[in-house]
Amino acid sequence: ASDSGAAVVDASVETTDGRHVEVAANIGQPAELKPTVDRGADGVGLYRTEFLFLDRETPPSEDEQYEAIRETLDMFPDGRVVVRTLDIGGDKQIPYLDQPDEENPFLGERGIRRSLDPDSDLFATQLRALLRAASDGAGDLAIMFPMVATVTELDAALDALDTAAADIEECDADAVDVEVGVMIETPSAAFMAGELAARVDFLSLGTNDLTQYVMAADRENERVGDLHDPTHPGVLRAIHQTVTAAHAEDAWVGMCGEMAGDPDLTELLVGLGLDELSMSAVTIPEVKTAVRDTEYNTASERADRARLAATRSEVHTTLDT
């Protein structure tokens, strides 16, 4: 590495040939906020709102959610904070929300599916809290929808956002300036990335789920752990398709799955065209250093070879040479 970790902490980073890559943090609980700032995150790329709903018996009120988001925005006066709307179901259970007993929970009522029905009231409350937080004071809030599989779901979510904006009395809804994005976690969303990106400002690849669904390998089942690996060329091709389609629509593309925090994969991800990488705070300085050590043109050629490989081991041979 050409820089010490300390040197990279405060700076925004670009490749040796001048391509800026945002390095942001994933937040899954309040205790993660301060280390995130200390380790020099440019912003928050994934704020998992589920934690606001845990360890209690009823959902947080609109005001409680507003306060939590406002506090976070205040900690990042110069950076973007991407807040994901409630993503329950699958591996994420909240006892008082009456989740169904499903045979295949990862293929069932998850994320946006539940927010549209049956949790539309919770969704509306959350969207109002977010829009109010965005309109008060400093900070740059973005709203992101999880587990989208269809354009129709996105359109319904955007309608709910418009309704929430119209319902806010305290502020001028037209003046609320939030970016809106979609997580790419299902193969359908990757295939439909162009149509999704045309409707929003950004996409963010959730490679934990995307890998699970592209490879048909449970993210929690160690017996298929070798298959649940985002460096399989099938997953790399889904990432490439997403980035290419989104850029053609002038949307930026981030990644907030675990893969984004692996400094050994930074060159590959920059080469695939990612504009933002979001990860747990601990790896931020290393990933920033790796971005600074990357030359985009070389990375791009190497990423092309990697994604066109036939096997995961060929991908790794390409990355190591």
Q: Among 118-126, 128-136, 201-209, 268-276, which window interacts with ligand PEP (CB under 6 A)?
A: 201-209
For 50, other C-beta atoms within 10 Å of its C-beta total: 16
**CA end-to-end distance (rounded Å), the chain:** 17
| 195: Cβ contacts below 8 Å, ≥ 6 apart | 151
Q: Among 168-176, 203-211, 223-231, 267-275, which window interacts with ligand PEP (CB under 6 A)?
A: 203-211
Q: Among 128-136, 156-164, 205-213, 234-242, which window interacts with ligand PEP (CB under 6 A)?
A: 205-213
Q: Which of residues 156-195 bind ligand PEP (CB under 6 A)?
A: 185
Instruction: Give the total of residues touching Mg ion (CB under 5 A).
Output: 3
Question: Site mask, Mg ion, residues 170-209, x = CB under 5 A?
Answer: ---------------x--------------------x--x
Q: Does 206 bind ligand PEP (CB under 6 A)?
A: yes
Q: Does 246 bind ligand PEP (CB under 6 A)?
A: no
Q: Closest separation between CB of residue 276 and ligand PEP, Å? A: 13
- Tokens read off for 9: 């902490």
Instruction: Give the total of residues touching ligand PEP (CB under 6 A).
Output: 10
Q: Closest separation between CB of residue 257 and ligand PEP, Å? A: 3
Residue 287's nearest CA partner among 308, 304, 265 is 265
The CA distances from residue 214 to 113, 162, 188, 191, 234, in Å, are 19, 32, 10, 11, 7
Q: How many residues does the chain have?
A: 321
Query: Residue from 60, 139, 257, 263 that binds ligand PEP (CB under 6 A)?
Result: 257
Q: Which is nearer to ligand PEP, 176 or 203 (CB)?
A: 203
Q: Which does 200 bind (CB under 5 to 8 A by kind): Mg ion, ligand PEP, none?
A: none
Region class of 3: left (phi > 0), else alpha (psi between -120 and 50), else beta? beta
Question: Which residue stretches of the chain are H helix?
Answer: 5-9, 33-38, 62-75, 112-116, 120-135, 151-167, 187-191, 193-199, 207-214, 233-248, 266-271, 284-292, 296-308, 312-320
Binding residues for ligand PEP (CB under 6 A): 46, 48, 87, 185, 206-209, 256-257
Binding residues for Mg ion (CB under 5 A): 185, 206, 209
